[in-house]
Every structure is written in C-alpha cells, then in structure tokens.
Amino acid sequence: MSRVDDHSEASVLGSFESCAVHRSRGALRQLLAALGAGLVGDTGPQELPAIFERELQRVLSVRAVRLRELPPRYHARLVTPTRTPDSIVLGVPSGDPRVQAVLEASSGPNRHLDDRDHDVLSTAAQLGGLVLEAARSRPLIRSTLAGTAPLVGSTAVMQTLRERLERVAATDFTVLIEGESGTGKELVARQLHELSHRRRGPFVAVNCAAVVETLLEAELFGIEDRTATGVRGRRGKFEHADGGTLFLDEVSDLSLSAQAKLLRAIQDLAIERVGATGARRVNTRIVVATNRPLSELVARGDFRADLYYRLSGVEIQVPALRHRREDISDLARYFLTRHRGTRELTLSEAAEDALKHYTWPGNVRELERLMERAVALTGCSRVEPEDLPPHVRGDYGAILAPSLAAGDSMRAWGTRYARLVFERCGRNKRRACRLLDISYHTLQSYLREDAAARSLEEADGDPAGELAAEALGETEV
C-alpha cells in the first residue's frame, strides 16, 4: 500500500507541477500578446511599460506590478533581489550599465506570492528589459515614420555642422541653435540628443510660441495636485525630460516675465511646480532654438541679457538652403524617394537646375512641400521644370529653359543674359557693363542681336516682316 500511496502522491505532485507550468506559459503568452498589440497599435512611448504592468498584474491576480528605471540620483544604491510572502523585487537587465531598472510585485493580505509567481516574475523581468528598451527607441521610430529627414548634404558647411554636433554632443552644456525658419533646427537638436550619452533618455520638444503665457509655468514646471478646484497634479516638461534632453523651440517668442522664470530653472537645474512649497532638481540638458539672432533682440531690449548669456557660448548655426545649393539635388531626391510608396518619380537635369537657381526663402521645409506637390500633381514619371510652380522656375523658366529647348549657341545665350542684366539694372547701360564686366560697345552689340532675334520671333510667318528683320540684321551686323 505504501508503494501505491507513494505513486499516487507522485502523480498528484506531477499533475500540480504540470498544471503550474501550463498556467505560467499561459500567463506569459497573454503578456506577449498584449505587448505585441501595443507595438503595432498607435501607442505612445510610455504606454508599453504600462501595458506590461497592467497585463502582468492581471494574469497573476496581484495588487500591484511596477516596472521602472531608477533615477540617476539613486544609482549609488545597489538593487538586490528580495522576496517576501507579499512582495517580490527583481533586477531588470539593461544594455546600458548606467541604467538600473527593477520589477516590483506586491500582493494583498489574502494572497501570498509562491514559487510559481516567482518563476513568472523572473521570466517577466528579463522581458521587462526589452520593454524598456523598446519604449526608449519608440520616439525615434515614430519620428522617422512621421517623416523627419536626416541631415542630408555633402557640402563643406554641412560637414562642418556634423563635426560641431559630434563635439558638442560629448558634453552636457546648454546649446543655442540659430537659423532661419525651415532650416531644420529641431532636426539638429534631435541629432544632438541621439549622439549624446542621453540618447536612452527622452527627447521632449516644446514650441514656446504655441504655449499660452498664463499656462507656461504649469506646462514647463508642472502643477501640484489640488492646487485649484478640479486641477489634477502633473509633471512639467522639465520633469518629463529628466535624464534626457529638453528642446525649447522659438525661445525668442517668450515674454520677459517668462524669460525670468526660465532663467532660474536653467541656472539651478531645479524646478518648482505651481502650488508646491519646495524645488526639486532635474537632470535635464537644455537645447534652445531661435529664428532671430538673440544678440540683436538683446540690443533692442526684447530679450533678457542675463538669459542670453546663460544660453549663448555653445552655439550651432544651421545654414540656409541657399548657402548650400549643391545639396538641393540630394535633398530633392531624398524627399521623392521617401514617397516612392505613393509614386516613383525621378528629377530631370533641367528641373535640378531650376531648383538650384531658386532662392528658397522657406529653406528645406519649402523644398519638402514642393516635392510633395510634385508627387501629387506631376503627370509623368519624371519631374520637369514645367511641373514646378512659376515662382520657382523664375528666371530659369523665362531665360535659360527656352535657350536649352531651342539648342541656342553660347552667343545666343549670352545675348539673352545681357538683355536680362540690362533690364535688371533699370536699362542703365553703364551699370550693366560693370556687372557683366564687358565694354560699352560689346553690350551694344549684344542688345542689337537681341533686338534682331525678337523681331524675327514677332515676324514669324509674315514674309514682309521676315524681310524687314533680315534687313535689320544686315544693317546691325
């Protein structure tokens, strides 16, 4: 009987173990399915850990589960796994030795955590490291999907810009980025963040011109719970960017009072929430951008000098597109390639020439929208000058394109160009001669030839007109 009892007991234990294994596998299967749905869905970067915590709490039927990274100020405290009947704390692996993370689970008074719970949590802790890594990389993935362009260009000014970014990224100093609207200042700030040791932290962008001044303090520094009736406490942008980079775009649009509040936060790297009684320190790198030179605003009294001197020193100038015209072709092809899923388009040499001769007041942003227009409206598989707006074709469409289409000689093109410069000089021949670096008599010759050519075009199909034009040509030659 004892052998039978032993056999029965072993069978029962084996059944329990098998059942526990099945339950563990089922719990992990549900957890993976929920995370997979979160990855393919339209979730924010901070929602993946929340999905992980919520699903793990549900499958284990415990009171709370928390997956978190420890703030840098707590890194000196070593995280050691602990286990009690009502709580389990496990370390979470990380690819960055400077980052420490833990997985914590706690049960209620009527629920004790057993070996099966510990096994599931141990496996989930390994998975939690991947969840945190995916949450950190998701903002970069989403920005790429949204259409953020890389720093395209091989000109000397772009190579200088990249070298400067690499040097500045190795520091934690506050950075001032200046450049015209549409040059890609936010893109430069993101590149700076990605090249720095803070790349695993968040990149938080704030458009200062779009924030209502009365809400600016709460937006940047946060607000305490129950500061006013119906107000819920929340973190500000400085706290959201803790361990990462805070990008303040169009900082020149801040009012003087707002500049004073910002100065204190940047100077002390400490913020005080609205309604709070004390300040809290933040580990945030500040990068600001402006499309107007701050030094000029300081001279006019529109920007605080003390804030300017706090922001300046480490400056990055983003060049305008007209100052790197050789990059225009590469940028245009990049934007066309990015929309190849909609239409496959190429750029003709004539269209490239037209783009290079345009002044681009809207810089790279204007070029991007122009390529989107070409994708939507071009009738064939190649973008020609005729597919560009008239203001972009400009002098190219009026002067150079007809010469190319007609196969004009260098002399004929010189005649057209001399007429163009003459008209732009207000028909002042001496000024035109100085710009063209030719003699007065040479300009006269060009203008006579141009007049003869115009007479021939106007007399096309009219024998009398042709004879008159020929006579004119013979007389002037």
pLDDT tens for 166-218 read 999 989 899 999 999 999 999 999 999 988 888 888 999 999 888 887 788 88
State the DSSP H helix or E strand holding residue 280, giving kind and residue range, or none if neither. strand 280-281
- Residue 45, domain member (yes or no): yes
Query: In which residue are the tokens 């400009």 written?
Result: 394
Count the Cβ atoms, other than its own, within 10 Å of residue 63. 14
Number of structural domains in the chain: 3
- Residue 342, domain member (yes or no): no
Are residues 330 and 169 in contact, defined by beta-carbon separation less than 8 angstroms?
no
CA distance 76 to 158: 41
Series of mean pLDDT values for 10-residue runs along the chain (477 residues): 49 48 66 71 60 82 82 52 85 74 83 85 86 65 44 88 91 93 93 89 90 81 71 81 91 88 84 78 91 93 92 92 92 90 86 89 94 90 88 69 67 81 87 90 86 65 42 35
Q: Are both 292 and 174 inside the same structural domain?
A: yes
Q: Are both 278 and 238 inside the same structural domain?
A: yes
pLDDT recorded at residue 21: 53
Q: Are both 111 and 164 inside the same structural domain?
A: no
Kindly give the pairing relationship between strand 203-207 and strand 315-317: unpaired
pLDDT recorded at residue 85: 83
pLDDT recorded at residue 267: 83
Provide the token pair at 63: 């009171």
CATH assignment of the domain containing 82: 3.30.450.40
Identity at 95, one-letter amino acid code: G
CATH assignment of the domain containing 223: 3.40.50.300
Q: Are both 304 and 429 inside the same structural domain?
A: no
- Which pTM value belongs to this model? 0.58
Among 102, 137, 172, residue at a domain's last position: 137
Among 137, 165, 180, residue at a domain's last position: 137
Q: Are both 171 and 59 inside the same structural domain?
A: no
pLDDT recorded at residue 475: 34
Domain, as residue range, for 444: 408-477
- Residue 51, domain member (yes or no): yes
The distance in angstroms from the start CA to the end CA of the chain is 131
Cα distances (Å, whole numbers) of residue 307 to 231, 252, 258, 266, 288: 31, 11, 11, 9, 11
CA distance 211 to 140: 24
Q: Are both 67 and 101 inside the same structural domain?
A: yes
Are residues 451 and 473 in contact, defined by beta-carbon separation less than 8 angstroms?
no
Count the Cβ atoms, other than its own, within 10 Å of residue 475. 9
Among 299, 319, 339, residue at a domain's last position: 319
- Residue-wise pLDDT for 55-90, tens only, equals 888 888 888 888 877 655 454 455 567 888 888 888
